[in-house]
C-alpha cells in the first residue's frame, strides 16, 4: 500500500472482490453475451462468437466512463477534502465496515452461486457500452461502494499524489475487465474456461481477502481519527 504497485495490486483485488458478486452488471454481461450467441444456423458462426466475446470488455468500457468521472471529481477538488484526518478516518471506518459486511455476505452465498442462473436475461440486445452505463447507474450498491470503499481507497492513494490515483484507477478498472471479459469468453467457449465450481472458489478466496482488507481499512480509520 505504500507504493504505486502496491496500490494497483490491492485495488485490483478489492475491485475483483466486488465484481465477482452477482448483480446488474454481471447479469447483463451474461444475458447480452448469450443473446449474441443464439445461433442463426446449426452453431454460432465466427462473427457471432467474436461479438459475444467482446460484450464483457465493452460493458466495462461503459462502466468505466462513470468511474473515471468520479476520479476526475477528486482531481478537480474533492481530493483536498479527502486527505483531512477527520474525513479520512470516518471514510476508513465506514468503508471497512462495508467491506466486512460484503465479505460475510459472500461467505454466506458461496454454496448457491452459479453463473448459469443469470443466463436467461438479455433476450433483447442492447449496445454493451450503453448497457454498462445504465446498469451501473441503476445499481444502488455501485453508489454505496464508491461512497465508502471507493472514496476510502482514493484517500489512501492520494498520499502518493497523481501517481497513486492513476495506480488505483488502473488496478480497479483492470479487475472489471479481467472478470467480465472472462465471463463473456467462458460463455463463448461453452463454460470450459470458468466452471461454477471455480467461480465459487474464486468468490470464497475474494471474501477472505475482503475481510482482511476491511479490518485494515477500519484500523487505518481509527488511527486517522486519533492522530
- Number of structural domains (the chain) is 1
Q: Is residue 10 pLDDT above 80, yes or no?
A: yes
Mean pLDDT of all residues in 58-83: 78
pLDDT tens, 162-191?
899 889 999 999 999 999 998 888 878 865
Pairwise CA distance, residues 120 & 95, whole Å: 34
Chain mean pLDDT for the chain: 76
Which pTM was predicted?
0.69
Name which of 35-44, 58-67, 84-93, 178-187 the model is least confident about.
35-44
pLDDT tens, 131-140?
788 777 766 5
pLDDT for the residue 194:
62
Nearest alpha carbon to residue 180 among 40, 72, 30, 37: 30
pLDDT for the residue 118:
47
Mean pLDDT of all residues in 71-86: 70
Mean pLDDT of all residues in 193-220: 77
* Grid cell for residue 154: 482514493
Mean pLDDT of all residues in 22-42: 66
Residue 154 three-state SS = helix
Residue 39 three-state SS = coil
Range of the domain at 122: 4-226
CA dihedral 173, 88, 210, 184 (to 10 degrees): -20
Amino acid at each position: 500500500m505504500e507504493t504505486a504497485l502496491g496500490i494497483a495490486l490491492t485495488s485490483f483485488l478489492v475491485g475483483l472482490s466486488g465484481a465477482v458478486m452477482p448483480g446488474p452488471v454481471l447479469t447483463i454481461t451474461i444475458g447480452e453475451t448469450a443473446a449474441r450467441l443464439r445461433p442463426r444456423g446449426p452453431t454460432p458462426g465466427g462473427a457471432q462468437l467474436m461479438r459475444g466475446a467482446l460484450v464483457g470488455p465493452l460493458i466495462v468500457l461503459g462502466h468505466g466512463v462513470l468511474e473515471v468521472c468520479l476520479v476526475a471529481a477528486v482531481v478537480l477538488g474533492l481530493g483536498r477534502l479527502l486527505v483531512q484526518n477527520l474525513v479520512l478516518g470516518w471514510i476508513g471506518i465506514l468503508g471497512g465496515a462495508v467491506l466486512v459486511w460484503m465479505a460475510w455476505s459472500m461467505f454466506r452465498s458461496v454454496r448457491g452461486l452459479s453463473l448459469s442462473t443469470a443466463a436467461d436475461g438479455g433476450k433483447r440486445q442492447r449496445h454493451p457500452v450503453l448497457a454498462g452505463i445504465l446498469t451501473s447507474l441503476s445499481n444502488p450498491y455501485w453508489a454505496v461502494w464508491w461512497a465508502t470503499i471507493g472514496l476510502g481507497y482514493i484517500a489512501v492513494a492520494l498520499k502518493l499524489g497523481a501517481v497513486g490515483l492513476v495506480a488505483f484507477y488502473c488496478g480497479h478498472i483492470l479487475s472489471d475487465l479481467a472478470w467480465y471479459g472472462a465471463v463473456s469468453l467462458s460463455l463463448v467457449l461453452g463454460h470450459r474456461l470458468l466452471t461454477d465450481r471455480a467461480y465459487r472458489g474464486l468468490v470464497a478466496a475474494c471474501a477472505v481477502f475482503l475481510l482482511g482488507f476491511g479490518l485494515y481499512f477500519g484500523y487505518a480509520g481509527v488511527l486517522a481519527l486519533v492522530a
